[in-house]
A = this chain, B = another copy of it.
């Protein structure tokens, strides 16, 4: 890491590639000779239209989005999608299936319940969401309008290793915390959504990738106009002023991802970073992983020691050594190291080394 930067393990908003920040800073008050900041540009003007179109095209290429699907940039984060998904889609049968594997999938389910009948197709709540249910243990309903799951559970440090088969029921996935971390077959999904603030950019924008056939047909009559997928498709995400600057930063991140080698390279780096830290957990007599081995997330590593006091000591000393925001979510306790795309491999490597040193120094 550069001299004055820390290793930031925040779960989101989270670390961004340093070259992205440097480029944004360099062109802050005069973007490519336009005499304006990107923040100051009319969203209907040529200069911003070029940024927007390029970002969308780059995302389409990086994520290999087929022509059947449309990319939207929306506001309100994943949370507003918790409402938008049922408002737009549940009208087909009035029912939907939800897989509960953590905090956000539970919030999504609770919100959807206000708009229709919800079947809990599977849940890991019995073991505090430390695992991902096996495909054989999923009980889909016969007439769901869609099947919803959250691909990576930021709070608990678990990640789905398979894409559930749904026999023609549209698959809806919250990918907020692992989007662009590996290649995925978008054609298997009816709708993907993701808050930008983990792997894509700053907070303030969310990306929706939607099978165009799903938009409009079953929209609830009270759907706020800005939350209508049909409206947003028809206006190319510009029914009103979009979060222009956030989208511009997403564009810079996409160029950085491509320069590293795209999502294939992201997948390799993801495995490499995670291995450094999980290897410590597997070797350790002090640190234990919170998630079941079969479900370990490549984005958020949750772990703890045998005591809250030792956890606190670890977090404090880690912070002093430049490893920031390692405190676990209150639902799990202990520690959480979020190692998103922008985390340099050295960040994971050095944290692993620090953990080994800490264990050696604090052995009972």
Contact = CB atoms under 8 A, between A and B. Distances in A.
B13 A204 contact: no
Contacts of A321: none
Contact of A42 (B12, B76, B239): B12
Nearest to A176: B241
Chain A contact residues, majority secondary structure: loop
A264 interface: no
Best-surrounded residue of A13, A25, A201 (most CB of chain B within 10 A): A13
B75 A222 contact: no
A160 to B, nearest CB: 22
Nearest to A74: B76
Contacts of A201: 39
Contacts of A242: 203-204
Contacts of A39: 13, 16, 21, 201-203, 249
Nearest to A77: B240
Contacts of A58: none
A8 B202 CA distance: 26
A5 B35 contact: yes
A224 interface: yes
A191 B188 CA distance: 44
Contacts of A42: 10-14, 325
A352 interface: no
A118 interface: no
Interface in A240-277: 240-246, 249
Interface string A136-161: 00000000000000000000000000
Interface of A: 4-6, 8, 10-16, 18, 21-22, 24-26, 28-30, 33-37, 39-43, 45, 75-80, 82-84, 87, 111, 114-115, 195, 197, 201-205, 220-222, 224-227, 239-246, 249, 322, 324-325
Given A28-B28, A202-B245, 8 more contacts: A5-B29, A21-B37, A25-B28, A75-B80, A82-B225, A203-B243, A204-B245, A243-B243
